[in-house]
Amino acid sequence: MLKTKEVGVRDPFVFLDDDGTYYMYGTRPKTVWGHGDGFDVYRSLDLENWEGPQEVFHKSSGFWADREYWAPEVSKYRGSYYLLATFGSDATEPVKGIQFLKSDTPVGPFSPLTSDPLTPRGWDCLDGTLYVDDANQPWLICSHSVPQETRGEMCACRLSSDLKHLEGSMYPLFYAKDVTWTQNLPFAQAEFGVPEGYFSDGPYLFKNTAQQLCMLWSSWYHGDYAMTVSVSPSGKITGPWHHQVRPIVEHGGHGMVFRTKSNRLVLTYHSPNDTPNERAVFQPLSRLMSKGE
């Protein structure tokens, strides 16, 4: 049994199943920047004591991706469990793409839903999240970021009801460069070969206590990874999105919101942004929402 502070995890994602168990997925810190071959889950009844890790997906010999296994998110949709994640490869196009895996249980084993990524061929995409709107329409929201898109584009597209393909074209929601608090990546030239590069990543959509449509997402602020929340007053994914003037978390990011067994909204994210020392942080959402106003 591990305590939360002992679990090394990046991009934590918590799923509360009907049996009252919390399942926490995430990027493996030790392989985040290179070779990747799988994802793990940790289980808890109280968000403090965790069993695991248990591998829920392992790369098969025919799977196209072999690096950058990032940000797994698990949702229950139409009676099955779907894991949505970023995958990368230097040998195929796209360099990074987003793909669903499917299982009958939250602990897997998960298998690819399709042979190819959902995201457009030739696009370098990361950090997909699934959102089902009030009309039961599923959407993919993801980042199209550096080095291809130096403004840090956040975009969205409708999904088919079976989650196997996009319906239509990617729609730009906003650009990180246009938000007042974001900063140019100081390593844009050295790492990506571009003189200027803003980025957006880690989107997660939820409704707050006032039933407003909100999006968590992350960018760069004062030399560190940081996270904010934006609001769509129309309630539509297509916005327009209104942004807070400062982050709600200044030293950590890639968060999500889940509802506990006691019906509280809790925010989790990783901090510090220092591999392999990342840990999951849990905080009441209400405590942080006013910080960025």
Evaluate whether 219 touches 228 at the Cβ level (below 8 Å).
yes
pLDDT at 25: 98
The answer to pTM > 0.75 is yes
pLDDT digits (tens, 9 = 90+) for 234-272: 999 999 999 999 999 999 999 999 999 999 999 999 999
Of 100, 157, 148, 141, nearest to 124 by C-alpha is: 148
Give the chain's domains with CATH numbers.
2-292 (2.115.10.20)
Q: Which two tokens stand for residue 281?
A: 């942080």
Q: Which two tokens stand for residue 49?
A: 């004591």
pLDDT band for position 27 (50/70/90)? Answer: very high
Phi/psi at 177 (5° precision): -60, -25
pLDDT at 210: 87
pLDDT band for position 146 (50/70/90)? Answer: confident
